[in-house]
């Protein structure tokens, strides 16, 4: 009864019309209903004050906008978590494992074979050798068991995308390349005998086209006469990507078929600049010896120097290097410029 008396007294203070005839539950419900609007009104008033304060502080855009303030807060929280070493996910995902130590990677030279490491000691990386010295080193730094090729690489100061700077030509190496070159000739029947006598491996017209129809390619160089070139147009997609399409610049389109075959057999090779503005050319085999390799190299560099475009200002060749098929690179003095 004391509880009911206390509830009646509280109800009378709130101005509620209740009496002893009402149950305790009814009185409590009336008191709660009377107090709820007041609390709600107080909450609404507080929220309105906070919204007005926020409106005063937040601009529509710029550094004081709501978005900017939220980004600054998020960044500050991220930096704090990073400083504390907290790697747990904000979205409640499992904590990620901390990163381990950086793996130790051996130098490239140590990852090479024993034979390569042995010959690489003969070459000083930072030294630029004279052509004679470089050729002698090349003959000593071949780790291969086979007769490796000796290659020259020249980085040019050209833009291959420009037509006048897209270097492409041929050079006759006095000592040959050391490779067996298979030459095919596509010419009229009247030239077949001369081509065969000059050393052509494949000579034909209709029979040769029949082989191309089957995509049979068993030659390294294709020589054609100008009047037969239109008939090769349909095979451009087959021959072009392989570098076998005859071209006047490379000397593979010629009226004198026997002369073209003789030059191809005796060491006439084509070189051209690639997309990285570098010319690569094999100048012979290690078995040639230093003297023959040097003669071939000089012939190539003389030919390359003559190809300098008139639009190039300054040096034509940026750098030169030489290497065997599997051997280390040897820097060469830029004597062309």
pLDDT tens per residue, range 94-127: 555 667 788 888 888 888 888 988 898 899 888 9
pLDDT of residue 41: 47
Structure confidence at residue 40 as a pLDDT band (50, 70, 90): very low
Would you tell me how many other CB atoms lie within 10 Å of the CB of residue 257?
23
Contact 105, 298 (CB under 8 A): no
User: Picking from 26-35, 142-151, 156-165, which range would have the lowest pLDDT averaged per residue?
Assistant: 26-35
β 168-172/268-272 pair status: antiparallel
In this model, does residue 257 exceed pLDDT 80? yes
pTM over 0.75: no
pLDDT of residue 315: 87
Contacts of 5 (CB under 8 A, 6+ apart): none
24 against 252, higher pLDDT: 252
Domain 182-266 fold is Rossmann fold (3.40.50)
What is the SS3 assignment for 223? strand
Unique residue bearing structure tokens 């068991």 = 145
Domain positions in the chain are 2-83, 113-177+268-337, 182-266
Contact 30, 16 (CB under 8 A): yes
Buried b / exposed e over 198-219, threshold 16 CB at 10 Å, is bebbbbbbeebeeebeeeebeb
Q: With CA atoms as reference, report the closest residue to 296 among 168, 180, 152, 129.
A: 152
16 against 271, higher pLDDT: 271
pLDDT of residue 300: 93
In this model, does residue 233 exceed pLDDT 80? yes
Structural tokens at position 314: 């300054």
In this model, does residue 133 exceed pLDDT 90? yes
Buried b / exposed e over 163-191, threshold 16 CB at 10 Å, is eebebeebbbbebbbbeebbbbbbbeeeb
The pLDDT tens digits for 182-212 are: 888 988 888 888 888 888 888 888 888 888 8
Share of the chain above pLDDT 70, in %: 85
In this model, does residue 136 exceed pLDDT 90? yes
In this model, does residue 294 exceed pLDDT 90? yes
Domain 113-177+268-337 fold is Ribulose 1,5 Bisphosphate Carboxylase/Oxygenase (3.30.190)
pLDDT of residue 21: 67
pLDDT of residue 91: 60
In this model, does residue 92 exceed pLDDT 70? no
Unique residue bearing structure tokens 């030294």 = 127
């Amino acid at each position: 009864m004391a509880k009911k008396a206390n509830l009646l007294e509280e109800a009378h203070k709130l101005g509620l019309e209740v009496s002893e005839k009402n149950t305790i539950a009814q009185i409590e419900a009336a008191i709660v209903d009377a107090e709820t609007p007041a609390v709600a009104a107080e909450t609404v008033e507080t929220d309105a004050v906070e919204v007005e304060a926020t409106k005063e502080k937040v601009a529509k855009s710029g550094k004081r906008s709501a978005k900017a303030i939220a980004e600054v807060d998020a960044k500050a929280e991220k930096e704090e978590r990073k400083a504390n070493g907290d790697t747990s996910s904000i979205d409640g995902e499992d904590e990620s494992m901390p990163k381990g130590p950086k793996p130790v990677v051996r130098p490239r030279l140590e990852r090479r074979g024993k034979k390569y490491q042995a010959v690489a000691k003969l070459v000083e990386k930072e030294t630029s050798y004279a052509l004679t010295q470089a050729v002698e080193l090349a003959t000593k730094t071949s780790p291969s068991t086979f007769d490796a090729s000796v290659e020259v690489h020249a980085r040019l100061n050209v833009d291959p995308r420009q037509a006048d700077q897209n270097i492409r030509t041929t050079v006759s190496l006095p000592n040959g390349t050391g490779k067996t070159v298979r030459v095919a000739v596509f010419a009229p029947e009247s030239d077949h005998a001369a081509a065969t006598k000059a050393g052509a491996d494949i000579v034909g017209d209709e029979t040769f086209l029949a082989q191309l129809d089957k995509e049979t390619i068993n030659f390294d160089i294709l020589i054609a006469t100008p009047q037969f070139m239109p008939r090769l147009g349909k095979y451009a997609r087959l021959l072009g990507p392989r570098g076998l399409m005859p071209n006047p610049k490379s000397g593979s389109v010629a009226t004198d078929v026997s002369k073209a075959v003789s030059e191809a057999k005796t060491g006439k090779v084509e070189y051209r600049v690639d997309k990285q503005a570098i010319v690569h050319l094999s100048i012979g085999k290690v078995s040639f010896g230093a003297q023959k390799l040097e003669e071939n190299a000089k012939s190539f560099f003389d030919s390359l120097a003559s190809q300098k475009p008139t639009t190039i200002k300054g040096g034509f060749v940026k750098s030169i290097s030489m290497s065997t098929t599997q051997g280390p690179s040897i820097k060469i003095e830029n004597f062309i410029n």
